[in-house]
Amino acid sequence: MRTQVGIIGAGPAGLMLAHLLHLRGIETVILESRQREAIESTIRAGILEQSTVDLMVETGVGERLKREGVPHHGTILRFGGRNHRIDFQGLTGGRVTTLYPQHEVLKDLIAARLQVGGEIRFGTKVTAVSGLDSKQPVIHFIGADAADSRLHCDFILGCDGAYGVGRAAMPDGLRQDYQRIYPFGWFGILCKAPPSSEELVYARHDRGFALISNRTPDVQRMYFQCDPNDKIENWSDDRIWSELQARVQGGDGFRLIEGEIFQRNIVPMRSYVCEPMQHGRLFLAGDAAHTVPPTGAKGLNLAISDVFLLDRALGHHYATGATDLLDGYSAAALRRVWRAQHFSWWMTSMLHRADGASAFDDRRQLAELDLVTGTVAAATSLAQNYVGLPFG
Ligand code: DHB
């Protein structure tokens, strides 16, 4: 089998890249280990940056997003028992974020691909890549029919996440790993209840961080900082609610509206970057190249900004034969990746309480939050980073 660009992974990076390249007339095949139903029902992040929304709308996959996505014009930082609002729209010249869950983005991208006859091979296990230094690299895979097969292509795109073949194929002598593991995780729930707040609430409390987000008018998403080694079974519904209520409690009487909890998970937190993001004809995008802690909701958006650059670089190459943008991809992508790494680390460290934090640490954190919510300069910096820096 042969194609121009072989893509490993049908997540946000792989699907968006295939869509963008199709608009340029460049052919792709996506190999994906999971089944379509699994991809379309796995609950992940929910916040889209302005540039992600713009790209989806401008390239014809934003119809449902425009109808069903909920714009968020600001966010709440809650500390000292009361709300402090950051006005994204006012501080960034009109830019906002949009709440539209990742699996809905994936549904729209998969539908768009299949509608134009694009090829996504679900249930396909990629085993290796070879010929990365040649002009005809090869992806080796076991198809849904259990037969060994090969996909010959001009370029290979590793969009296959943190544990995929793409990252593992970066040669040891070349690859540098930058990593930070945090001593906490997020306990996440989905519950059937009306929203407790119109805008997201990022709450800092002496008991630890909590985040109040939502999904639909009837389903809410909430998280609280926990021990990353904790077990879901240790948390009864009553215990979950009393912990969440304690962390948002304050003099203003704010209370969460409780409801039936129907999903629970524990998310570990780490920061990771693989450098460079390219070797020969292999290019990495999205989680294959980097991980951010969830605070600030940058993961999905970084995947989209990586493939924005790749689409431009591959388009330029197929149109002119030039390789300058492809050669510059890693450096260009990494600059934005590190900005998002810094932002996600900063939001995490400002809002979470480390075990053994001293009274000094607590006061310093509160002073930082006071700065961010009390000065236009610091609030603007948070708002600009949160709604997202330009892709290009
Ligand atoms: C959500 C997740 C995040 O990491 C975040 O910063 C905001 C919202 C969410 O799942 O809704």
* Nearest atom of ligand 1 to the alpha carbon of 188: 10
What is the Å distance from ligand 1's center to 223 Cα?
A: 9
Asked whether residue 89 is domain-assigned, the answer is no
Give the pLDDT confidence score for residue 44 in this predicted structure. Answer: 85
- Residues 23, 161 within the same domain: yes
- Residues 287, 341 within the same domain: yes
Q: pLDDT grade, residue 196 (50/70/90)?
A: very high
Give the pLDDT confidence score for residue 5 in this predicted structure. Answer: 98
Q: pLDDT grade, residue 277 (50/70/90)?
A: very high
Tell me which residues are annotated as active site: 72, 202, 294, 298, 386
- Residues 125, 169 within the same domain: yes
- Residues 263, 274 within the same domain: no
Rounded Cα gap, residues 127 and 166, in angstroms: 10
* Nearest atom of ligand 1 to the alpha carbon of 221: 11
For atom 7 of ligand 1, the residue with the nearest CA is 297
Asked whether residue 352 is domain-assigned, the answer is no
User: Strand pairing partners for 60?
Assistant: none
> pTM of the prediction?
0.96
What is the Å distance from ligand 1's center to 297 Cα?
A: 5
- Residues 246, 117 within the same domain: no
Burial 36-59 (b: 16+ CB within 10 A, else e): beebeeeeebbbbbbbbbbbbeee
pLDDT in tens, 235-249: 999 999 999 999 999
Contact by Cβ (8 Å): 311, 20? yes
pLDDT in tens, 151-163: 999 999 999 999 9
Backbone CA torsion sign across 156, 161, 165, 171:
positive
What is the Å distance from ligand 1's center to 362 Cα?
A: 24
For the Cβ of 47 lying below 6 angstroms from any atom of ligand 1, the answer is: yes
- Residues 165, 148 within the same domain: yes
Asked whether residue 82 is domain-assigned, the answer is no
- What are the DSSP E strand ranges found in the chain? 5-8, 28-31, 47-48, 70-72, 74-79, 82-87, 97-99, 119-121, 125-130, 138-142, 148-152, 155-158, 176-192, 201-203, 210-214, 219-226, 260-275, 278-279, 282-284, 290-291
pLDDT in tens, 287-328: 999 999 999 999 999 999 999 999 999 999 999 999 999 999
Asked whether residue 331 is domain-assigned, the answer is yes
Q: Concatenated DSSP letters for 331-384? A: HHHHHHHHHHHHHHHHHHHHH---TT--HHHHHHHHHHHHHHHH-HHHHHHHHH
Asked whether residue 77 is domain-assigned, the answer is no
For the Cβ of 295 lying below 6 angstroms from any atom of ligand 1, the answer is: yes
Asked whether residue 160 is domain-assigned, the answer is yes
For the Cβ of 298 lying below 6 angstroms from any atom of ligand 1, the answer is: no
- Residues 126, 58 within the same domain: yes
Asked whether residue 90 is domain-assigned, the answer is no
pLDDT in tens, 339-379: 999 999 999 999 999 989 999 999 999 999 999 999 999 99
- Residues 146, 186 within the same domain: no
- And the tokens for 302? 């970084």
For the Cβ of 314 lying below 6 angstroms from any atom of ligand 1, the answer is: no
Q: pLDDT grade, residue 43 (50/70/90)?
A: confident
For the Cβ of 219 lying below 6 angstroms from any atom of ligand 1, the answer is: no
Q: pLDDT grade, residue 209 (50/70/90)?
A: very high
Give the pLDDT confidence score for residue 247 in this predicted structure. Answer: 98
CA distances from 324 to 270, 305, 315, 317, 330 (A): 33, 18, 12, 8, 11
Is the pLDDT confidence value at 385 over 90?
A: yes
- Residues 163, 248 within the same domain: no
For atom 10 of ligand 1, the residue with the nearest CA is 45
For atom 3 of ligand 1, the residue with the nearest CA is 297
Asked whether residue 311 is domain-assigned, the answer is yes
> Residue 60 belongs to what H/E stretch?
none
CA distances from 202 to 78, 92, 199, 237 (A): 6, 20, 10, 21
Residue 62 belongs to what domain range? 5-72+98-178+270-347
For tokens 């989806």, what's the residue? 56
Specify the number of domains making up the chain. 2
What is the Å distance from ligand 1's center to 7 Cα?
A: 27
For the Cβ of 69 lying below 6 angstroms from any atom of ligand 1, the answer is: no
- Residues 123, 245 within the same domain: no
What is the Å distance from ligand 1's center to 48 Cα?
A: 10
